[in-house]
Structure 1
Amino acid sequence: MATFTRRGKAWRAQVRLQGHSVGASFDTKRQAQQWAQDTEYQIRQGEFGKPQAGTFGDLMKRFSETVSPGRAGARWEIVRLNKLLSDPISQTPLSELKTQNFAEFRDRRLTFVSPGSVNREINLLGAVCRYALREWHLLDHHPIQGLERPKDPRPRDRRISEDEIERICRALNWRGVAPQSTYQEIAWAFLVALETAMRLGEILALTSADLNLRGRFVTIQISKNGDKRQVPLSRRAVELFRLVADREGKLLKVGRDVASVLFRRARIDAEIEDLRFHDTRHEALTRLAQKLEVLDLARMVGHRDPRSLMIYYNATATEIASRLD
């Protein structure tokens, strides 16, 4: 509850309790300890009034407004936090926030979304708690530590066949030339993703300044993990980028939400089951793994830990057997 730090000849006491954070300096440690004891008593008696952030929802709002904008995945965080404000946990006073509140949150959310989604939401709320504890001193403990998590589902292993690629391109009216329509831009992004394993958001954010076709790479300024990286290009990828190389500014005009909706519509028109744009990353990484060493592959696709490549590497037994003597 209270911490004591010696600064020169003085002692600094800091009390963090029930959303309050107060401090004072004293000549002796004994004085600091007595002040801390009295202060904790006053806080418990309610003499300090309402803390700066009265409910967990207040913390969520503050985090989304001041912290999320500077983090990778800011858009997802802000949207998710705003949505979760409708959950009862947002009304929980900080003084009453316990692990049990998050256990109840977990159980409620599991009735609406998948275990993987619930884990991502818990991770986000955990980030809010850590910031409130370490930076704002509005919590005196981390209430999510020790919470039992839902078991994540098995990673997707969806591969994309050449026939499906052709059908998607037909549904998006791809003509093999510089894309003119929104549908054709999505088709172009789809083909680029299959060659590079780039994410949809990374492709849509590319500008003409990010291209280096002579060096055969493009630069992603901000990736999902916040890193900047250069993505090597195959000859086919170079051909695709040459179709848009003369554009100024952003290479594509289509936004992410529109692209996602129109891709799903094209999948339906192509009569293809259970295909997501992100499955291009699985397909591309599996193909690239046959050409690149694992460290080169990890660097190309932006994985800090090469072991995480196994989530996306989905070679079939027949494909592996074909490479055996």
Structure 2
Amino acid sequence: MASIRPTPNGFRVQVYAKGQRDSKCFPTRKEAAHWALEREAELKGAKLPDKTLGDAMKRYVRELTEERAGWRWEAIRLKALQRDGLASIRMEALAGSDFAAWRDRRLKEKSARTKKPVQPGTVAREMNLLRSVLEVARRDWHWIRTNPMTDVRWPKTPKGRARRVEPHEVEALAKAFGVWSKLQAETATQRTGLAFLFALETAMRSGEILALTWFNIHLDQQYVHLPKTKNGDSRDVPLTLRACEILKALPMGDGPVFRLDDATRDALWRKMRDKTPHRDVHFHDSRAEAIWRLSKKLDVLQLARVIGHRDLKSLMIYYAESAASMAKRLG
């Protein structure tokens, strides 16, 4: 049932069907009545809204919040995907074959930044994002009845990178950033170097490090509290003495401790790293290296708590000790 009431700027219509309510304002009663008939049919399941995948992408971006992990990447990717022909297809007409064709086409494209073929891992992440958009459109907006990506095959992706960072590489990089002989934080370049050294001590992700505030740092008890992480959980990360020294080198104040955003950190990292012979080292390699180091001091459950992993199987690579070595410790 629909009700239409005049407002100072037009008419407000409210509809109620199958336990669901919706409302909208229109300049004329005729427009309000027309919308009410269509919306009631949609809520009753008799008719799907005339929307395209591009419309769904735009709404998804509008409703993203900055508190959501990965929101910036999702917003950028969806805006780029709106330029693809896939975005013009009506929601109810979408089929799995549309996404399979898009997947194959995407794998043949070249990255605008590297000029190399788009990696399967990148396409897989984009497919996960598109599936999320479609699932929200199905479950929350009722724009489709089934998710057309349910049976689409994902591209095979290589195993995650777990590169060690050798001591001589750490030294060369720290010298390039001006934080080897002395921990300094006067420039953004130096703070980027400190962030890398801090990551090697804590196994924290770049985003977690850059979001750190003094309120969540407890130097007296040697830990930092992360109120929200990539998987949505909070966690406490213990600090080594070296990690505490790095934090003490940073100036106290309001806002993020390292006073860097992700784009600045990434640009400075690439610029200074490329001045060394170690151009293959990624900033995020610091996490894998730190996990290797921590695995020699913590058991698997402790390590999982520190780094925020829910799947213990993914950590077993860091406990690859030989049977002969373990036998010696057993006595």
Report the equivalent of 1:33.
none
Select 2:132's aligned residue among 127, 132, 150: 127
Shift of 1:140: 1.1
What value does the CA root-mean-square deviation take over the aligned residues?
Answer: 2.6
For residues 320 and 168 of structure 2, what CA distance do their matches in structure 1 show? Answer: 17
Tell me the equivalent position of 2:285.
279
TM-score (norm 2): 0.79
AA aligned to 2:294 is L
User: Aligned partners of 1:324, 1:156: CA distance in 2, in Å?
Assistant: 30
Hey, what's the Cα distance between the residues in 2 that align with 1:192 and 1:222? 19
In the other structure, the counterpart of 1:145 is: 150
* Equivalent-residue separation in structure 2 for 1:218 and 1:226 (angstroms): 17
Residue 218 of structure 1 aligns to a residue whose secondary structure is strand
Matched, 1:301 2:307: yes
Q: Structure 2 CA distance, aligned partners of 1:23 and 1:283?
A: 53
Kindly report which structure 2 residues correspond to 1:139-218, keeping only aligned pairs within 5 A, or say none: 139-174=144-179, 175-218=181-224
Q: Provide Cα deviations, 1:140-159, integer angstroms capped at 9, x if missing partner.
A: 11100011111111221311
Q: Which runs of 5+ in 2 are unaligned?
A: 1-16, 21-38, 110-117
Q: Give the superposition deviation at 1:253.
A: 1.7
- Structure showing greater relative contact order (alpha-carbon pairs closer than 8 Å, 6 or more residues apart): 1
Residue 102 of structure 1 corresponds to 99
Report how far residue 21 of structure 1 moved.
5.8
**Cα distance in 1 for residues equivalent to 2:41 and 2:104:** 32
| 1:1-325 equivalent positions in 2, closer than 5 A | 12=18, 22-23=42-43, 39=46, 43=47, 51=49, 54-67=51-64, 69-112=66-109, 113-174=118-179, 175-244=181-250, 246-310=252-316, 313=317, 325=328
Residue 321 to residue 253, structure 1, CA distance change in 2 (3 Å):
farther
Task: Give unmatched runs, 5+ long, in structure 1.
Answer: 1-10, 25-35
TM-score (structure 1 length as normaliser): 0.81
Cα 1:166–1:316 shift into 2, 3 Å: farther
Q: Secondary structure at the match of 2:97?
A: helix
Between the aligned partners of 1:87 and 1:195, the Cα distance in structure 2 is 42
TM-fit CA distance, 1:315: 7.0
Q: Which amino acid aligns with 1:85?
A: Q
Q: Percent identity?
A: 39
Separation in 2 of the partners of 1:135 and 1:12? Answer: 14
> For 1:102-129, what per-residue CA distance to the aligned partner results, in whole angstroms no more than 9, with x for missing partners?
1011111111311111111111111111
Partners in 2 of 1:61 and 1:178 — Cα distance? Answer: 44
How far off is 1:241 after superposition?
Answer: 1.6
Task: Spell out, residue by residue over 1:291-319, the C-alpha distance to the aligned partner (whole angstroms, 9 max, x if none).
Answer: 00111111111112222324xx457779x
**Number of residue equivalences:** 286
Would you say the 8 A contact 1:171–1:269 is kept in 2?
yes
